[in-house]
Structure 1
Amino acid sequence: MIAPPKRQESSGRSAKCWVGWLGALLVLALIGLAIWLGGKGRDVPVMTRHTINVYLLSKSLSSFFSLPLSCMWIVHYGSKMYSVHYESDCRGNDCKDQEQHETYDGVTDTCSNSSIQCDGIQDCQKAVDETNCVRFGEGGVLQVRTAKDGRFLPVCSQGLDQSYADQICEQLGFRRSYVSNPVDSKTSVALTVGPRSAKLIQGLVNVSSGCQDEKAVSLECTDCGKPQSASRIIGGSASQLGQWPWQVSLHYSGSHVCGGSLVSPDFVVSAAHCFQGSMKNSVYWRVYAGTISQNSLQTPYLLKKIIVNENYNNNNNDYDVALLKLSSPVTFSSTVQPVCFPTFDQTFTDGSDCWTSGFGTTQQGADHASTSLMEVKVNIINTLQCNSSLVYHGAITKNMMCAGDMNGGRDSCQGDSGGPLMCKGGNNRWYLAGITSWGAGCGQRQRPGVYSRVTSLLPWIYSKMQQEKP
């Protein structure tokens, strides 16, 4: 699987190159020729219908002129997603003369002037002030943000029963909790649960000087990251049924376009660049779960809503994440299971073995996606190395991570966009470390795959799940 799925291949950046107009004119001329030739004699695959990728032309010119990656050219066309703007992040008295506005496709949600973040009281129509108030730390320890000073503190296990656990998970967009357990916690400051008087956990907790029994609560909202099949062949090969049970195939107008990862019965995580322009319309999408072959697809699920990160930038692929809400919940089985979200502070160390999978092309430039679910083992690559002038020349943001092989040969490719980069945790569960996003070519030397870093995007994902909870 030298080039199993990748995503649309991205531009490095707008070049500040010393090679001037001559190079630009040559590129434009070659692009025009490529477009003219590309429209003759073959169909353009669905996965690239909204992107013209001229990487190969760029690479040739780059080699000729000895240009850095930032001088490579990619052409995108199509409409852009409207933005959501959180114009104020004030609290308490700081908000007296301000209002918070959330704009989505021209609709503005205004919060009250006295809104306080994470106090358990919804002051905004979409509850902007009560999102990003809950997270999970090491070992799944539940942490809640305090309204007073904005700190995240662990929640003591004493008094937090199953009904509280269910309430918290439902708040985050899950249907119920899976398991909660007390774990050792000797912190000097923690949160204790008070009488149930609010629907949100941040309205039920009080700051305390540690936990009375030195036990915090570890909470899991779903049984996740447990594939039913463990057989695997290293090197880029077809997956076994049940091996990656969270992998889904996203079809647009009847053809596979992108991948995604099932994270709950109601939600799939994918890449923002899969849903640009006319492809934002959920009516034309179908979600296939529990399949390893495009020739034997199961009954599809429909999409109720496509939520693209409002900060997504299709020039540099930053914030390349989307949350898909299903019209009906998925039924879990041995071949359909959710992947685990990482904790907010979970790290995936450089050099560690992870896996990526998808139905994308198995070689660069191929016209058609793979009919079989393919997989390949990749290594996490140091961000500084990946951002060096020899690799991606500063194009890697804090919301991205690199994985693959610096010598080439192990990578994702076109059609894998939105699919998972999975790493195994110490508890033998698989975590969604990254989302297949972009890259320069497929399996090329010193051009590893680039993935959206899930730990950086978790607050956004959880906030949207909370707003769209079933």
Structure 2
Amino acid sequence: MDPDSDQPLNSLDVTPLRKPRTPLETFKKVGVPIIAALLSLATIIIVAVLIKVILDKYYFLCGQPLHFIPRQQVCDSQQDCASGEDEQHCVKTFPDGSPVAVRLSKDRSTLQVLDPATWSWASACFDNFTEALAKTACGQMGYDRYPAPASRGCPLTPMTSSLLPPFFPPFLLIFPSFLPTPACGESLKAPRVVGGETASVDSWPWQVSIQYNKQHICGGSILDAHWILTAAHCFRKHHDVSTWKVRAGSDKLGNFPSLPVASIFLIELNATYPKEKDIALVKLQLPLTFSGTVRPICLPFFDEELTPATALWVIGWGFTEQDGGKISDTLRQASVQVIDHTRCNAEDAYQGEVTEQMLCAGIMEGGVDTCQGDSGGPLMYHSDQWQVVGIVSWGHGCGSPSTPGVYTKVTAYLNWIYSVRKSEP
């Protein structure tokens, strides 16, 4: 081109260069849509979770056909789902039936068998111990056939006392290697502080928290890897088993993960006197892993007698004050005493409300007692091992004079405990 030409410069066929995008422009075009999509996805997920939580709390999903029913209709003894699943996982009642046919004495030296003809107990291998009773004993312990007539000698192999737990599954007499490990009633740390003070889980490794919708409701005692002993009144309002969990291995309420429950068993309620038969068994879906802070407590022997003033212990996360108190975040312990049954039923105390299936324990002057939230926890006695001799049940006030704590007497329900555990192998 002639440099002296008068043709305008912008008439030339030249394509101008595009300016590169700045980081801000790139973020606006690419980053903002991605963030918006992620926020939308997160919102959808949060809303979905909230909907699920609300539905799970207030509604129950029936199958075939799929539809929701109000949560209040679950475990109300009326079938609202077509296939009845709303009534399948509920608290069960188990009858307080006939006595177990075999028992062991407190000193672990005598095996006794119940004679169904006379309803009296006969000691094995002693006088008047018949072949029929021997067959009963062997059948209860897992043998279908009795190996020899009683006159030819005793077929029951003597065991040392260290092999026998206080209330044993009968087959353990013949197969001691099947005994649970660790032995019941042993703790790594002896309690040294008395009177409503902070407790260590090393001292009471069998104590658990029984929780409904993640809220502590009652205490309980580990009997073995699957079974927890507690009070029946803990479950009177909420019968849906899936809402209950058990927390073990910590003296703090919020520390450890909770364990799902498979079954809950009560004795049928006595409508005329609901304070009676305040005992329950909780079966876990998965077995506990025993450790220094998770161990079983022993059940008492059938002939364990506690005289007045016998020293006992109680533990729990219950209210620290009767009025205006709150659940304790940390496990607490107290030393109490057995109170005479007659004294407990006096006119200035419970006026006959305490039955033979209950125990009174505390201090008549008041000041040391269990309270709301302690229910279901153990009343403990130490002989060779720790035994759960009572279950925190009821009382007038907390630590009031003349109205000590009243506990379910465990020895009165050993047959029931054994029968329930036997029914759910």
Tell me: CA distance 1:331–1:411, structure 2 relative to 1, closer, same or farther (3 Å). Answer: same
Deviation at 1:108, TM superposition (A): 12
Alpha-carbon contact 1:380-1:404 (below 8 Å) kept = yes
Equivalent residue number for residue 234 of structure 2: 274
Q: Give the whole-Å Cα distance in 2 for the aligned partners of 1:340 and 1:365.
A: 34
Equivalent residue number for residue 309 of structure 1: 267
Residue 285 of structure 1 is aligned with which of 244, 251, 274?
244
Q: Look up the SS of the partner of 1:456 in the other structure.
A: helix
Aligned residues: CA RMSD:
3.4
1:294 is aligned with what amino acid?
L
Q: Look up the SS of the partner of 1:235 in the other structure.
A: coil
Tell me: CA distance 1:196–1:465, structure 2 relative to 1, closer, same or farther (3 Å). Answer: closer
Q: Give the whole-Å Cα distance in 1 for the aligned partners of 2:112 and 2:137.
A: 18
1:285 is aligned with what amino acid?
W
Residue 432 of structure 1 is aligned with which of 344, 369, 388?
388
2:248 is aligned with what amino acid?
A
Q: Give the whole-Å Cα distance in 1 for the aligned partners of 2:359 and 2:93.
A: 33
- 1:404-446 C-alpha deviation (Å, 9 max, x unpaired): 0000011000000000000111x2x111110000000000000
Q: Look up the SS of the partner of 2:185 in the other structure.
A: coil
Deviation at 1:330, TM superposition (A): 1.0
Alpha-carbon contact 1:362-1:369 (below 8 Å) kept = yes
Equivalent residue number for residue 139 of structure 1: 107
1:280 is aligned with what amino acid?
H
Q: Give the whole-Å Cα distance in 2 for the aligned partners of 1:335 and 1:266.
A: 16
Tell me: CA distance 1:211–1:405, structure 2 relative to 1, closer, same or farther (3 Å). Answer: farther
Alpha-carbon contact 1:354-1:423 (below 8 Å) kept = yes
Deviation at 1:334, TM superposition (A): 0.8
Equivalent residue number for residue 336 of structure 2: 378
- 1:214-256 C-alpha deviation (Å, 9 max, x unpaired): 9855533441111111142111111113111111001101110
Alignment of 1:321-400 (within 5 A): 321-400=279-358
Alpha-carbon contact 1:313-1:319 (below 8 Å) kept = no
Alpha-carbon contact 1:259-1:418 (below 8 Å) kept = yes
Alignment of 1:404-415 (within 5 A): 404-415=362-373
Q: Look up the SS of the partner of 1:139 in the other structure.
A: coil
Q: Give the whole-Å Cα distance in 1 for the aligned partners of 2:381 and 2:216.
A: 25
Deviation at 1:459, TM superposition (A): 1.2
Q: Give the whole-Å Cα distance in 2 for the aligned partners of 1:146 and 1:316.
A: 32
Tell me: CA distance 1:198–1:249, structure 2 relative to 1, closer, same or farther (3 Å). Answer: same
Q: Give the whole-Å Cα distance in 2 for the aligned partners of 1:416 and 1:335.
A: 19
Alpha-carbon contact 1:189-1:207 (below 8 Å) kept = no
Q: Look up the SS of the partner of 1:365 in the other structure.
A: coil
Tell me: CA distance 1:313–1:267, structure 2 relative to 1, closer, same or farther (3 Å). Answer: farther
Unpaired runs of 5+ residues, structure 1, are: 1-78, 83-104, 110-125, 157-186
Tell me: CA distance 1:241–1:457, structure 2 relative to 1, closer, same or farther (3 Å). Answer: same
Unpaired runs of 5+ residues, structure 2, are: 1-73, 78-89, 169-179
- 1:354-408 C-alpha deviation (Å, 9 max, x unpaired): 0000111111024531100010000000001101111100000111110000000
Residue 452 of structure 1 is aligned with which of 404, 408, 425?
408
* Greater RCO (Cα-Cα under 8 Å, separation 6 or more): 1
Alpha-carbon contact 2:102-2:137 (below 8 Å) kept = no
Residue 245 of structure 1 is aligned with which of 188, 191, 205?
205
- 1:87-145 C-alpha deviation (Å, 9 max, x unpaired): xxxxxxxxxxxxxxxxxx9x999xxxxxxxxxxxxxxxx9977x622322222344333
Normalising by structure 2, report the TM-score: 0.67
1:391 is aligned with what amino acid?
A
Tell me: CA distance 1:194–1:135, structure 2 relative to 1, closer, same or farther (3 Å). Answer: closer
2:204 is aligned with what amino acid?
W
Deviation at 1:343, TM superposition (A): 0.7
Q: Report sequence identity in percent.
A: 34
* Greater Rg over alpha carbons, structure: 2
